[in-house]
Amino acid sequence: MEDQLKQDRRRKSEIALSNVYNLPAMSATMLEVSKLLDDPSTNTAALSRMIGKDQGLSTKILSIANSPLYGLTRKVSTIDFAILIIGYQDIKNIVVALTMVDSFKNKSDKYLDQKEFWVHSMLAGTACKRVAEDLGFRIGSEAFVAGLLHDLGVPVMHKFFRNEFELISDEVRNQNASLLETERKYLGLDHQEIGNFLANKWHLPEHLSNCILYHHVPGSSLENDVLTSIVHLVDYMTQKLDIGTFYLDKGSALDTSVLGTLGISSEEELNSFIESYRELFTNEVKSDLFIK
């Protein structure tokens, strides 16, 4: 009977999600930026002029480029220079990821503080890029997007499943219940599955949607790939360091399968690795990227 109830709730949730038509409309500027980035003949000046028309987008790109964890060695003060030093592909990934995060913003309330969620998501993005590079994996741009979008299912729940989200939040906070199990209890699916559903609907690359689907349980993925392992580790690092963590993540255990995937050989090495990022994480959340 309980299994049937969960299946019914899952079907109901999937029907509701299917009515979330693609992305809410992009701003005219973001739409033009995307077109320019897809055009191989586009030059830096034209792209810079178009990005400059959207003050919010310009500010976020410059803040990301200058954040401590993003790792650029030179101060970036203009969009022209940001494009040159970051590169077209990374700029495109940043624009796409920021657009997606903005799409499901809702008013803050006691169940979801938008600032707290933004800090966690952006810290995860910049930290995933840095950790990937520090571990020798050349997937910095993809890691940034994966980190930024990994919890996309959370604001979607908050916006489209408000009653269930409030019940989930209360139970996780007050009863120390498992987040994923509680989500499945009320919705028949969890925020990983919701994020994956939308990622597939938007035709994101499979490795990114797979990362969203398994970021809490990378060992359950048949691929158990590096990207998912990095996102899982960074999510765990925010808890251990208690910097930029998100309240619904608190208490989530580390899936130790990621250690072998990432070449970390012992618990002692893991703890040392995490602690080595304390100053960077602290400086990151104090940077212009987060003080808005």
Structural domain contains residue 291: no
Task: Quote the pLDDT of residue 143.
Answer: 93
Identify whether residues 11 and 58 lie together within a single domain.
no
Per residue in 203-231, pLDDT (tens digit) is: 788 999 999 999 999 999 877 689 999 99
* Phi and psi angles of residue 248, each rounded to the nearest 5 degrees, phi first: -70, -20
pTM for the model stands at: 0.87
| Chosen domain end from 103, 136, 161 | 103
Identify whether residues 125 and 204 lie together within a single domain.
yes
CB 249 within 8 A of CB 238: yes
What percent of the chain is predicted at pLDDT more than 90?
A: 47
Q: How far is CA 4 from the centre of its chain?
A: 32
User: Three-state SS for 226?
Assistant: helix
CATH code (residue 244): 1.10.3210.10
Task: Quote the pLDDT of residue 164.
Answer: 95
Instruction: Give the residue numbers spanning the domain of 124.
Output: 2-23+105-285
Per residue in 26-69, pLDDT (tens digit) is: 567 767 877 887 888 888 888 889 888 888 888 888 988 888 88
Identify whether residues 110 and 10 lie together within a single domain.
yes
Identify whether residues 55 and 175 lie together within a single domain.
no
Identify whether residues 17 and 99 lie together within a single domain.
no
Structural domain contains residue 38: yes
- Taking the chain, what is the end-to-end CA distance rounded to the nearest angstrom? 49
What percent of the chain is predicted at pLDDT more than 70?
A: 93
CB 107 within 8 A of CB 155: no
Identify whether residues 81 and 127 lie together within a single domain.
no
Task: Quote the pLDDT of residue 157.
Answer: 92
Identify whether residues 113 and 179 lie together within a single domain.
yes
Structural domain contains residue 262: yes
Task: Quote the pLDDT of residue 212.
Answer: 96
Q: How far apart are CA 276 and CA 178, in angstroms?
A: 29
Please compute the mean of the pLDDT values over residues 178-182 and round it to a whole number. Answer: 94
What tokens were used for 104? Answer: 């499901």
pLDDT at 279 over 70: yes
pLDDT at 266 over 90: yes
Please compute the mean of the pLDDT values over residues 173-187 and round it to a whole number. Answer: 93
Please state the domain count of the chain: 2
Please name which of 128, 118, 272, 96 lies closest in space to residue 199, comparing C-alpha atoms.
Answer: 96
